[in-house]
Structure 1
């Protein structure tokens, strides 16, 4: 600062400067509690981002598996069309040779038309699934996609281990549980910070002042002191804020326990679904083998004239159904694997495992 003043008929200039530093020494843990609150809120934010990333990963994997299943359904439908076409050609040849009734040829034509209709529907579903996958990866739905080879399901997935172990992993890995724990920690730290506001605090202050009046006069004064701040009664406002912070901490603790229970249920449900899907896939593989053999035999018997066309129709219908069930069962296992990985919080590990098996 500067001053201008008059003394004995003359004008003099004066200036002064000061520097003060205050530092908190002790506040019953309030400063540490506020730091803990900030760090916990940071952890909650990071884990929320991780949870969103895992949701996006699951959506993309589901879209990929759906497209793979749709393409598998197209392949199965084409195989059914080819088999039914050979049956129609056989029935029509026997009709023209006069060794079969026109009804057999008409039934064969109807069965072939139904197979072609199923193929057209499967191709439409595949185009829709391709558009959904393109959008899931941030591309226009018209983007032409080339799928990587579908990983084999022959190797038992690591997520088929004990459910108790999976639940323990989920409590450690799930981002939403990390968020819930961080929110609870932040609330507990806020209780400590709020409580510290009701207690005294001790600080130290240092001040240095410089003054200059004229060429003959200047000053330099330094002071060091301790400060004690004691909160006075303010109408129970601090008491109410402490009670509110405690209530929020209790609420966040309850939410954490609720999230833990829901996570355990999610893991149990998805693990059960995966085991069921694996059992269904094993049955579907047996079914396709027996249905293929049965259809081949029925077609051979009809060609040899010792079997009826009704038997052939039944066999090829069962084969078409078995093909579609195998595709559905395969998709069911892949989808269940991804959903269990998401429930455990290992969706990234599941992706890496799938990539390693290609």
Structure 2
């Protein structure tokens, strides 16, 4: 839409604009303004072209060039590049070293730290309300007035006046007393800051447990890969034994086919176990918080002793945990903060007493009808004491008080539930550690027995008194026993780390029991 405007006729400078503007021109100006407004309003809906054209088809980037521009900006800013980990490729990382690396590299700890800093700054902002607010201001302006004279004077039919002035001033505003409203806000902010600090510790403890669990999962996957490789070697030994008997005419083609099947089956297991090992490795890198492209060496736990079970009564462990678990302490701090909210809501029913003051200078100039101008300036200051007493607000303060009490009731229930969950987690974790240690001892015996069975079955077959089926069964039993032992071993380490986690005793200054 194109608007064409014709020039307005020249207007006398000594008459108001409305008195000389023709009626037709007034109508034209109003119509043009209306059409311009409607035309500009239509521009807002044009931005719908930036959205997908229909709900049943995916959006195709690049239609308007915005995607290429975004990709270029992201690429130039380095936003598409993966982070480069600060790791030593030639170093074998132990579990404590991986935990230390995670605490320095994982973005979760950084985000939790920033949240704790924000909560600390909120305390400072709340305390700042005790201090006065001082502002510098300036007001300036001009006023022009033209009045028609009943009788022209000196050829002038209008009398013009002009007033100009500037008033800079400093204003003071200070809430001196509010019956505990600000103190409740400050105490609430302090409790929330404590809660945020404990949540920061909770993030660290959760990170320690996550890295520990991923570390032992990777070692279990690595043990599976070793067991599968050993099972493949054993299957080839079985195949060689069957083939040797077949060459002497002592084994059937079915026996040889079974031996080949055993080898193929173990080859498949090797491939699967190696894939699972790589997946566990990536999970460990993710828990640490470093790039998936990283190549680091991980400590092997085969020669590490199994952790011992907890010899402390469960009740004692629960009491210790409730005094150390950061999530429990954070929950109590949040409860205390909500209680301060009741004090703040009650203070809203009381008057507020404040001090107000200004200090200003002014300078004005007055011109009238060609007369000599009049200038005036000066200094002005005042200080006042005031009180604001709430009388009626349609029940808003009462509703705020009820809401604050409801928040306290909710926080109390959440805190009680948090303690119950913590106690239950401790009982379960303690039982899991005991079961894992017992399972490991049983798995060791199972593996020893499976070795004897396999050796006996192989020897019997080589001496012509065994069968391929019995040998295959012994081979599979040995593999299952090895896998069960590695799983039970790493599960014991993980259970010990989990117990330390639910007790709230694993911090950056201590090594989890599973890694001692």
Same fold (TM over 0.5): yes
Show the counterpart of 2:103. Answer: none
Distance across 1 between alignment mates of 2:475 and 2:303: 27
**Contact map agreement 1:160 1:275 (CA 8 A) in 2:** no
Show the counterpart of 1:46. Answer: 197
Show the counterpart of 1:292. Answer: 451
Q: Which runs of 5+ in 1 are unaligned?
A: 2-16, 210-220
The equivalences for 1:1-358 within 5 A come to: 24=176, 28-150=179-301, 154-157=305-308, 161-199=312-350, 231-348=390-507, 352-353=511-512, 357=516
Distance across 2 between alignment mates of 1:160 and 1:96: 61
Show the counterpart of 2:69. Answer: none
* Stretch moving more, 340-349 or 281-290: 340-349
Q: Offset of 1:349 from its aligned partner?
A: 7.0
Q: Offset of 1:94 from its aligned partner?
A: 1.8
Q: Offset of 1:345 from its aligned partner?
A: 2.5
Per-residue CA distance 1:277-332 (angstroms, 9 max, x = gap): 22221211110011111211222222233333333222222111111111222232
Per-residue CA distance 1:35-88 (angstroms, 9 max, x = gap): 211101111222233333333333322222221111100111111112222222
SS at match of 1:150: coil
Aligned pairs, how many? Answer: 341
**Contact map agreement 1:131 1:140 (CA 8 A) in 2:** no
Rg comparison, structure with higher value? 2
Q: Which runs of 5+ in 2 are unaligned?
A: 1-137, 139-168, 360-380
Q: Offset of 1:227 from its aligned partner?
A: 7.9
SS at match of 2:249: coil
**Contact map agreement 1:151 1:355 (CA 8 A) in 2:** no
* Stretch moving more, 226-235 or 134-143: 226-235
Q: Which is richer in helix? A: 1
Q: 1:335 to 1:131 in 2, by over 3 A?
A: same
**Contact map agreement 2:433 2:492 (CA 8 A) in 1:** yes
What is the alpha-carbon root mean square deviation over aligned residues?
3.8
SS at match of 2:466: coil
* Stretch moving more, 264-273 or 112-121: 264-273
Q: 1:46 to 1:252 in 2, by over 3 A?
A: same
TM-score, scaled to structure 2: 0.57
Distance across 2 between alignment mates of 1:109 and 1:314: 15
Per-residue CA distance 1:156-177 (angstroms, 9 max, x = gap): 3465643223322332222222
